[in-house]
């Protein structure tokens, strides 16, 4: 097969640019690494994942990469066309792994990097959400006496309860469906909700004691 035909196949791989989720990507890399460490051929491993992967985008990328490798391209060259699955950094890591004969180690390094980035993202989002919640609760607690003196207290309480219900529903849906990128954030919020609830309760009790 000519170089032109091989390049045409790589261009065909570029067409399968559907975004693959981070969890599906980690599963794909882990499975491919284990298959290679077990002695299975690369093309056969990709064909298996193209058939049995539960993610349509990942299936399309695996099938296209297998076809590209069968045409004479390297895994790095095939991966470069799947922009929805691999970044440029990851393609370079795969190419280096192929060059030195340590492809499974290169795949493991990409897995570790994805896991680290996922944890960092969850911690960053949690760090942003928690101060906002504390500030809102603190503002509400400090202004309880003022709110009780006005006629808008019932309206404000209704709005707060409605927003809390929506927020709680979002947390439960996120946790129940096991959204990988949000699980750490949701768990962190659940751990911080009891102290926040006690803060609101103590503020109301303090105001009641002050009145009576």
**What tens digit of pLDDT does each residue of 79-122 get?**
888 887 888 888 999 999 999 989 999 999 888 888 887 777 66
Q: Give domain status of residue 12, yes or no.
A: yes
Indicate whether 173 belongs to any domain.
yes
Note whether 16 and 60 are same-domain residues. Answer: yes
Last residue of a domain, one of 67, 101, 135: 101
Residue 179: domain span? 118-211
- Write down the pLDDT at residue 145: 55
Q: Do residue 93 and residue 125 come from a single domain?
A: no
pTM comes to 0.52
Residue 94: count of CB within 10 angstroms of its CB = 23
In this prediction, residue 134 has a pLDDT band, given cuts at 50, 70 and 90, of low
* CB neighbour list of residue 29: distance below 8 Å, 6 or more residues apart: 107, 110, 111, 114
What CATH number does residue 57 fall under? 1.20.81
179 and 204 in a single domain? The answer is yes
Q: Is residue 110 part of a domain?
A: no
The band of 43, judged by pLDDT with boundaries at 50, 70 and 90, is very high
Q: What pLDDT was estimated at residue 12?
A: 47
pLDDT at 168 (0 to 100): 55
Q: Which residues contact 86 (CB under 8 A, 6 or more apart)?
A: 79, 80, 94
> Is the pLDDT confidence value at 67 over 50?
yes
Listed residues 69, 101, 133: the one ending a domain = 101
Kindly state whether residues 87 and 125 are assigned to the same domain: no
Read off the pLDDT of each residue in 41-56 and give the average, rounded to a whole number: 86
Average pLDDT estimate for 131-153: 56
> What is the full DSSP assignment across 58-75?
HHHHHHHHHHHHHTT--H
**75, 101, 127 - which closes a domain:** 101
Q: What pLDDT is stored for residue 141 in this prediction?
A: 59
Q: Where are the alpha helices (DSSP H) in 82-179?
A: 88-100, 103-142, 144-149, 153-176
Query: Which has more confidence, 43 or 14?
Result: 43
Q: Does 109 fall in a domain?
A: no
Q: State whether 84 and 140 are in the same domain.
A: no
Quick check: 48 and 58 in contact, CB under 8 A?
no
Model pLDDT, residue 144:
56
Number of compact structural domains in the chain: 2
Phi/psi for 158 (5° steps) reads -60, -40
In percent, the amount of the chain with pLDDT more than 90 equals 10
Same domain for 50 and 11? yes
pLDDT at position 22 is: 76
Q: Which pLDDT score, from 0 to 100, does residue 195 have?
A: 45
Q: Is residue 61 part of a domain?
A: yes
Q: Are residues 69 and 148 in the same domain?
A: no
Same domain for 92 and 45: yes
Q: What is the pLDDT of residue 112?
A: 87
**Pick the residue with more confidence: 33 or 149?**
33
Average pLDDT score over residue span 176-187: 50
């Amino acid at each position: 097969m000519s170089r032109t035909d091989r390049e045409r196949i790589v261009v065909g791989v570029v067409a399968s640019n559907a975004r693959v989720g981070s969890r599906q990507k980690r599963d794909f890399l882990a499975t491919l690494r284990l298959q290679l460490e077990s002695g299975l051929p690369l093309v056969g491993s990709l064909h298996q994942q193209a058939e049995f992967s539960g993610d349509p985008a990942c299936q399309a990328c695996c099938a296209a990469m297998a076809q590209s490798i069968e045409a004479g391209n390297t895994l790095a060259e095939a991966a470069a066309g799947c922009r929805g699955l691999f970044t440029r950094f990851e393609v370079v890591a795969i190419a280096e792994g192929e060059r030195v004969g340590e492809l499974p180690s290169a795949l493991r390094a990409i897995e570790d990097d994805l896991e680290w980035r996922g944890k960092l993202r969850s911690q960053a989002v949690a760090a942003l959400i928690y101060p906002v919640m504390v500030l809102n609760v603190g503002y509400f607690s400090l202004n309880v006496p003022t709110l009780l003196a006005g006629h808008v207290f019932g309206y404000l309480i209704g709005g707060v309860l409605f927003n809390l219900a929506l927020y709680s529903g979002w947390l439960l849906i996120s946790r129940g469906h096991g959204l990988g990128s949000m699980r750490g954030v949701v768990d962190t919020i659940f751990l911080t909700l009891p102290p926040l609830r006690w803060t609101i309760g103590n503020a109301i009790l303090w105001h009641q004691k002050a009145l009576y």
